[in-house]
Amino acid sequence: MAKKVTKIGVLTSGGDSPGMNAAIRAVVRTGNYYGLEVFGIMRGYSGIIDNDIVPMHSRSVANIIQRGGTILKTARCKEFFTPEGRQKAYNNLKKLGIDGLVIIGGDGSFRGADIFSREFDIPCIGLPGTIDKDIAGTDFTIGFDTAVNTAVEAIDKIRDTADAHDRLFIIEVMGRDAGYIALHSGIATGAEHILIPERKTDIEELVASLQEKERRKKLVNMVVVAEGDEFGGANEVAKVVKERLPTTDTRVCILGHIQRGGSPTCLDRLIASRMGYAAVESLLEGRHNVMVGILNNRMHYTLLERAVKSKQKISEEWIKIVKILAS
């Protein structure tokens, strides 16, 4: 029988994503509701090692649900991936009596949680907080919807100026290993081409298509590129296009970290709240070392070890949709 959890810690780790604050708020208030002591851990796993841990109450999370970023700060901690670092972290948690953790982050954060939990029998619950939507076991990750809407708004504005000047714009969005932001924002803005890491970039096919569009006097074209595209991102794609189509007015726009910030959308606030609530419920019910996700609008639980090994795959149907709608 799993031991009863009485004190829990919550932290945000890895890259920030809009909605993290909503998740923190849900964890704190749900924990308080059930009579648990809740502690906020600053700067991810670094905060456990440095003992930068503060008690949190209902008022600690007032007026944060609409804020981007994370009030607990976030960082990547190499020391936590050493046995000595994890031992130091465990000693600090033990002194405070913390016997459960909620980790809001991506697969790297979950990998650390899985190792830590196995070594020291600290139950951990993971919440998928990443704009990339690259974690299997959930239809949504916290922050993805906001990031996509930010990209869509920016690309819509770029199309206005592209149309005014008859330009080809090559727009780079975030997504080092996953092309979901490029895919969704590209389809939503009517991009003529979408280049993603999951699919081999055929630069000859792209150039031939742009030449055909130029022949048909279609002078306004948008190419959305994920930063992790195998060809090297927007600048590398643009270099080839400019060489092959010297008469085309080609411009590059890299959206960058604007996609990570900003007030979370309603969807991100809702899923973060549901996941935060479910994380505390899971600890109380003895469901440990899982990632909380949402599949088909129902809570879904994936073992942390499986969550870090699996990636959310882009279906061939999406690829076909892109090809047909851009023709």
Q: Is 244 annotated as a binding residue?
A: no
Q: Is 251 annotated as a binding residue?
A: yes
Provide the angle, in degrees to the nearest 10, between the axes of the packed helices 107-120 and 83-96.
70
Q: How many CA atoms lie within 13 A of 299 on its CB side?
A: 17
Q: Is 298 annotated as a binding residue?
A: no
Contact 166, 159 (CB under 8 A): no
Contact 106, 128 (CB under 8 A): yes
Q: Is 67 annotated as a binding residue?
A: no
Q: Which helix (H) or strand (E) holds 302?
A: strand 298-303
Measured CA angle at 44 (ends 299, 144), to 5 deg: 45
Selected catalytic residue, list 132, 145, 229, 268: 132
Side-by-side strand order, sheet with 250-254: 193-195, 221-226, 168-173, 250-254
Q: Annotated catalytic, 229? A: no
Q: Is 57 annotated as a binding residue?
A: no
Q: Is 312 annotated as a binding residue?
A: no
Q: Is 175 annotated as a binding residue?
A: yes
Q: Is 191 annotated as a binding residue?
A: yes
Q: Is 131 annotated as a binding residue?
A: yes
Q: Is 216 annotated as a binding residue?
A: yes
Report the Cα 181 to chain-centroid distance in Å.
10
Pairing mode of beta strands 298-303, 290-295: antiparallel
Q: Is 176 annotated as a binding residue?
A: yes
Q: Is 89 annotated as a binding residue?
A: no
Given the structure tokens 């090994």, which residue do they identify? 309
Q: Is 43 annotated as a binding residue?
A: no
Q: Is 257 annotated as a binding residue?
A: yes
Q: Is 174 annotated as a binding residue?
A: yes
Q: Is 232 annotated as a binding residue?
A: no
Q: Is 308 annotated as a binding residue?
A: no
Q: How far apart are CA 45 and CA 28, in angstroms?
A: 18
E strand intervals along 34-189: 37-41, 53-56, 100-105, 124-128, 168-173
Q: For residue 108, what are the CA distances in angstroms to 13, 114, 133, 189, 257?
A: 9, 10, 14, 31, 20
Q: How far apart are CA 150 and CA 190, in angstroms?
A: 15
The string of DSSP codes covering 235-292 is HHHHHHHHHH-TTS-EEEEE-GGGGT-SPPPHHHHHHHHHHHHHHHHHHHHT--SEEE
In the annotated binding site for substrate, the residues are 130-132, 167, 174-176, 227, 251, 257-260
In the annotated binding site, the residues are 15, 25-29, 76-77, 106-109, 130-132, 159, 167, 174-176, 190-192, 216, 218-220, 227, 251, 257-260
In the annotated binding site for ADP, the residues are 25-29, 159, 190-192, 216, 218-220
In the annotated binding site for Mg(2+), the residues are 107
In the annotated binding site for ATP, the residues are 15, 76-77, 106-109
What is the set of active-site residues?
132
